[in-house]
């Protein structure tokens, strides 16, 4: 409500009331609410970590380091007699829970996906920022955002119907025949389900995230860097590679790590094209693999039938390993991107 303020001549002037949204109290309230929201997010992560540690502790005692360095995954003989006891924890007879195959499959598929996705994502982002006319930027950006929102099962279905037969019938035989002398490219061509197909699907899935992040990093960069380099006689390619990219490399590394974290945790699409390998490490780029996220889904039903509960807890232990890896990767990525923002 407006108030009347007396003046020297005795008359009064009307003073407009300050809206609450512009008052100091509103700023304090907004700051408090955002702090509470941030604290709740951090608390949720901590609670998830504590729960996983508590739930998987019997499996951690039973498995020891074999969850990281053994390739044998066997829930044991559920119809036999007796039990297998390690460190005071009982499981089904013959039970072994080695997760090295899944850890290797997770890391290889995500790393190979980055090999495919990073050059394409950088090229697309640079084209959007420096080469596309203004009228085309909006639809291209909208298409990128649309790709990021497509469910993973759709990518997996496309990979199963289109990509896997193409890899098995065309790509793998050609590569193993002509480039088999190169390590990790020779050997059995396989059926198409495997590391290569999983990496292609992952690359397509994470590329929109990387393009959007790199695009925003480039747009946050002062245009004067590019324009000054062009004014000195550089070509567009030289201005980008010698002036722009070095100045935003921290942000680009952060974008790559964000996409890498997404690739590590992808489940359904990888499960549909990776080959569901158990107890065997990949011997070439076309070998079947399995990832931590995929094996948790595929083995959960059989693990539930384990009366001792160690199989379920071992799957949760794999999830804990993936959780820690993803948390570390995303933390490093956010720190890198924040450092890039503060530099401006």
Per residue in 319-330, pLDDT (tens digit) is 999 999 988 888
Q: Is the pLDDT of residue 169 over 60?
A: yes
For domain 96-342, is the CATH number 3.40.50.2300? Answer: no
Q: What's the distance, CA 174 to chain centroid? A: 31
With bands split at pLDDT 50, 70 and 90, how would you rate the model's confidence at 86?
Answer: confident
Please state, in angstroms and rounded to a whole number, the distance separating the CA atoms of residues 70 and 92.
18
SS3 258: helix
Q: What pLDDT sits at residue 338?
A: 67
Q: Is the pLDDT of residue 199 over 90?
A: yes
The residues, ordered by sequence, that sit 6+ positions from 131 with a Cβ below 8 Å of its Cβ are: 236
This prediction's pTM: 0.84
Q: What pLDDT sits at residue 307?
A: 82
HSE (side-chain half, CA atoms, 13 Å) at 97: 32
- What tokens does 214 get? 């790199």
- Domain boundaries defined on the chain: 96-342
Please state, in angstroms and rounded to a whole number, the distance separating the CA atoms of residues 288 and 2.
74
- What tokens does 336 get? 């890198």
298, exposed or middle or buried, with CB in 10 Å at 0-12, 13-18, 19+?
middle
SS3 86: strand
What is the rounded average pLDDT for all residues in the chain? 85
The residues, ordered by sequence, that sit 6+ positions from 275 with a Cβ below 8 Å of its Cβ are: 190, 191, 193, 194, 287, 288, 289, 290
Over residues 185-199, the mean pLDDT reads 89
Q: What is the largest CA-CA distance in the chain?
A: 104
Task: Output Rg (C-alpha) for the chain, integer angstroms.
Answer: 27
Q: Is the pLDDT of residue 68 over 80?
A: yes
């Amino acid at each position: 409500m407006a108030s009347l303020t007396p003046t020297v001549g005795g008359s009064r002037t009307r003073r407009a009331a300050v809206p609450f949204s512009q008052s100091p109290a509103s700023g304090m309230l907004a700051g408090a609410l955002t702090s509470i929201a941030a604290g709740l997010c951090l608390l949720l992560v901590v609670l998830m970590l504590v729960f996983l540690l508590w739930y998987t502790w019997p499996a951690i005692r039973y498995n020891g380091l074999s969850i990281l360095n053994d390739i044998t995954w066997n829930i044991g003989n559920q119809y036999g007699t007796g039990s297998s006891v390690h460190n005071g924890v009982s499981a089904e007879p013959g039970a072994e829970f080695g997760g090295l195959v899944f850890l290797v499959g997770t890391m290889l598929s995500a790393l190979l996906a980055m090999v495919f996705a990073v050059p394409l994502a950088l090229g697309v982002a640079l084209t959007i920022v420096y080469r596309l006319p203004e009228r085309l930027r909006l639809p291209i950006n909208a298409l990128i955002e649309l790709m990021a929102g497509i469910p993973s099962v759709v990518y997996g279905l496309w990979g199963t119907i289109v990509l896997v037969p193409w890899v098995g019938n065309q790509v793998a035989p050609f590569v193993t025949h002509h480039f088999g002398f190169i390590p990790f490219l020779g050997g059995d061509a396989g059926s198409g389900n495997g590391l290569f197909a999983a990496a292609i699907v992952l690359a397509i899935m994470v590329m929109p995230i990387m393009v959007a992040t790199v695009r925003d990093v480039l747009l946050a960069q002062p245009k004067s860097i590019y324009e000054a380099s062009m004014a000195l006689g550089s070509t567009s390619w030289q201005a980008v590679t010698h002036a722009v990219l070095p100045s935003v490399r921290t942000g680009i590394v952060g974008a790559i790590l964000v996409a890498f974290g997404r690739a590590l945790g992808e489940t359904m699409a990888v499960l549909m094209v990776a080959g569901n390998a158990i107890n065997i490490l990949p011997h070439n780029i076309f070998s079947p693999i399995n990832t931590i996220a995929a094996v948790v889904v595929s083995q959960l039903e059989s693990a539930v039938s384990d009366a001792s509960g160690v199989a379920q807890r071992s799957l949760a232990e794999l999830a804990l390993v993936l959780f820690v890896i993803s948390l570390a990767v995303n933390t490093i990525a956010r720190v890198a991107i924040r450092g890039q923002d503060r530099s401006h």
